[in-house]
Chains A and B, each alone.
Chain A
Amino acid sequence: MSFPWAKPYEPKHPFMRWMDERLPLPRLVWNSVGGGYPVPRNLNHFWNFGVLAGVALTIQIVTGIVLAMHYAPAGELAFESVEHIMRNVNQGWLIRYAHANGASFFFIVTYIHIFRGLYYGSYKAPREMVWLLGLVIFLLMMATAFMGYVLPWGQMSFWGAKVITGLFGAIPLIGEPIQVWLLGGFAPDNAALNRFFSLHYLLPFVIAGVVILHIWALHIPGSGNPTGVDVKSPQDTVPFHPYYTAKDGFGLGLFLIAFAIMLFFLPNYLGHADNYIPANPLATPAHIVPEWYFWPFYAILRAFTVDFILPAKLWGVLAMFASILLLFFLPWLDRSPVRSGSYRPRFKQFFWILVIDVLILGYCGGAPAEEPYVMISQVATIYYFAHFLIILPILSATEKTLPLPASISESVLHGETAEAAPAKAARKSRARSAPAE
């Protein structure tokens, strides 16, 4: 693991030495997020978002475990038990609002993390496995979030569950039996609510497991960086601690401020008012919409309006799943040897079109299924598929890229050899690398 100049773990305290000989847990921490993990020195603030996603997962697990102590997963009780948490449990409102808004913030930081990967080519060799595991986490997150939204058993919970499980009904022949099997009945009811609660409690720990694999896979080649150039010498890196722990600490502060503003002052802004109405199978809400983080995919689902060979609904379901599954093939669709979008002028333009395109899809997914939103989402969906499946492969073969810097340190220092007032760690690393210069 890691580079030859990574500082080995040297326990100072006798207890740590004793511990290290028996269970090298301190060594593991040192090598993964401590002074023993050399990281490119030029990471910008977009590299904060991986850590932030980990913090968001932790917030969800901690608040979720407390909520589960007071929540009752039964159709007759669920809605009222959530209100019991809001009204009678000490600080219950804080825990529940933190969990509900925490889900949104988990998705915000994860989306930024994914788009950072798309821009800087983080999915390319040798980090394909990091990307693939990340997508597995993303899929697990979506399943967890969907089931979590069902638990308060409000109107949107019930009808969201009905619509989403209804998607499986679009599959020919086996679709409806699958839907009945998933729900444990013909419509969402106690059976569905209980299994969703069980899985909603299980999946976050599965996510935590895949996160460990994601970080493990990352530590084999080490972190990427904004230039996309490989690390070549000790000058290119700084130890994770204290450099990136300090930088992540600042990023975490900003994240928590944004989170606190939503949690304490706009706690219901990202939710839907209808979910404060208890689930009623006999009254369909005027507009059934999922949570905001699913809107782009919901827009893709609804963009298919014409039965063409296959039923429109089946096309929508296929396209929605394809829109995520195609990301698994991204490392092999984009074969450009240049990783970073900063050195790919054409790619950069298409990347920003994609960002705007997904935002438009998100807006249309939250809007009612009326014109002009349907036509706009059709155009946006065309671009989404064209971007990944047609533009990127052609671009990576034909594009003229800009010259890459010789090394990370060159791109940072611009030929200067001396740095002003180096920190202690910097002095050491320069002393070691002096013969190479």
Chain B
Amino acid sequence: MVRLIGALIGLGFILVLAVSLITGAVGFLREPPTETIEHKFHKHAKDVAFSFDGPFGKFDRQQLQRGFQVYKEVCAACHGLNLVAFRNLADLGYEEPEIKAIAEQWQIEVPDINPDTGEATTRKAIPADRFPEPYANEVAARAANNNAMPPDLSLIVKARHDGAAYIYSLLTGYQNPPANLPPEARPGQGLYYNPYFPNLNLAMPPPITADGQVTYADGTPATRDQMAKDVAAFLTWTAEPNLESRHRTGIAVLIFLIIATVLAYMAYQNVWAGRKH
């Protein structure tokens, strides 16, 4: 009885699936799906190597500081970093007085209340503060950016496929639309063509426009490629500040586990010695 009912239910599902399949196949043959414009022109992230790749990867402190400089001088005007505090910059190798100075000189002040009157005011940042938001709220952000919302960058590397390589590709990927791009996919008013962006046109104007846009404190030549790479590395740190201790712990744990597993294997062989199984 169970088998009879089961077979009937099974045949029912199979019938409906067959109808779906035939309908789909007929539609597929009559009107083969055309490749979407995005599919045709979208490019995967460029192949780019970073010092933090691989199980032994570490951050390059100099690079993180350069990337922070690019963020500060280029990105920070529109993009927030609301999960990172100034004090976290110690990870980049900055000393405490330097961090204090960076916080105090930050171009945006921190919202606060006047301790005497209770009125809303702003004050200079201190190391314990997180990076202040560049806009008071989303409406202000959209109003200033042609109705586009500049995303917060704290987690951007983990929130995009291909992470740092994607950021690097996007920053270096702005170009003129190819001649064979259909008119409906051409960038409209206030949009810019970039094949690394999923729908090809984005509202962010090319942020890195010229070599030497930033003058690096460590004297590294600030080529566009270098700046893009440095800021991608910096944003990897903001997204995953514990990457180095994760790698270090991982290596130690693996060494321990491999030794323990070898011992467990020997114990297993020893217990079963002479026992056929």
B265 A250 Cβ-Cβ under 8 A: yes
The residue from A252, A260, A277, A419 contacting B253, defined by CB atoms under 8 A apart: A260
Size band of the A side of the interface? 35 or more
In the bound complex, residues from chain B placing their C-beta under 8 Å from that of A43 are: 277
Whether A69 sits at the interface, judged by CB under 8 Å, is no
Interface set, chain A 183-228, CB cutoff 8 A to B: none
Given A246-B267, A389-B7, A42-B246 contact (CB < 8 Å):
no
Cα distance A260–B48 when bound, in Å?
26
A308–B21 Cα distance when bound, in Å, is 12
Complex: chain A residue closest to B6, CB-CB: A389
Contacts A243-B271, A393-B7, A422-B275; A86 near B242 (Cβ below 8 A): yes
In the complex the two chains form, what is the Cα distance from A243 to B268 in whole Å?
A: 7
Interface membership of B128, Cβ < 8 A:
no
Q: Which of B23, B155, B249 contacts A306 (CB 8 A)?
A: B23
What total count of A-B pairs have CB within 8 Å?
Answer: 180
Main SS of chain B's interface residues?
A: helix
Contact B264 A382 (CB under 8 A): no
**Residues in chain A near residue B264, CB distance under 8 A:** 246, 249-250, 252-253
In the bound complex, residues from chain A placing their C-beta under 8 Å from that of B23 are: 305-306
> Do residues B159 and A276 form an inter-chain contact, with CB atoms below 8 A?
yes
Interface of chain A, main secondary structure: helix
Q: Is the pair A264, B25 in contact by a Cβ cutoff of 8 Å? A: no
A286 interface contact, C-beta 8 A: yes
The distance in angstroms between the C-alpha atoms of A303 and B17, with both chains bound, is: 7
* A268-B158, A276-B159 known; A304+B275 contact, CB < 8 A: no
Which of B101-109, B185-193, B255-263 lines the interface with chain A?
Answer: B255-263
In the complex formed, the residue of B with least CB distance to A154 is B159
Chain B residues whose C-beta falls within 8 Å of the C-beta of A393 in the assembled complex: 3, 6-7
B83 touches A83 (CB 8 A): yes
Among B8-16, B114-122, B207-215, the stretch that binds chain A is B8-16
**Interface residues of B toward A: which range?**
35 or more
CA distance A312 to B16 in the complex (A): 9
Q: Which of A276, A304, A319, A379 has the most CB of B within 10 A?
A: A276
Q: Does A333 belong to the interface (CB within 8 Å)?
A: yes
CB contact between B16 and one of A260, A273, A315, A421 (< 8 Å): that residue:
A315
Judge whether B55 and A87 touch: CB under 8 Å: no
Q: How far is the CA of A390 from the CA of B16 in the complex (A)?
A: 16
CB atoms of B246 and A423 under 8 A apart: no
The complex places the Cα of A260 from the Cα of B250 at a distance, in Å, of 7
What are 19 contact pairs spanning A and B, CB under 8 A? A83-B154, A246-B271, A246-B272, A247-B268, A253-B257, A254-B261, A256-B261, A260-B254, A263-B250, A306-B23, A333-B2, A371-B28, A374-B24, A385-B17, A386-B14, A389-B6, A419-B276, A426-B274, A426-B275
| Additional pairs, 15, CB under 8 Å, beyond known A93-B242, A273-B158, A389-B11 | A247-B272, A249-B268, A260-B257, A264-B246, A264-B249, A265-B250, A277-B151, A277-B155, A277-B159, A304-B16, A333-B6, A371-B33, A379-B21, A386-B10, A421-B274
Interface residues of B (CB under 8 A from A): 2-3, 6-7, 9-11, 13-21, 23-25, 28, 33, 55, 83, 88, 151, 154-155, 158-161, 198, 239, 241-242, 246-247, 249-251, 253-254, 257-258, 260-261, 264-265, 267-268, 270-277
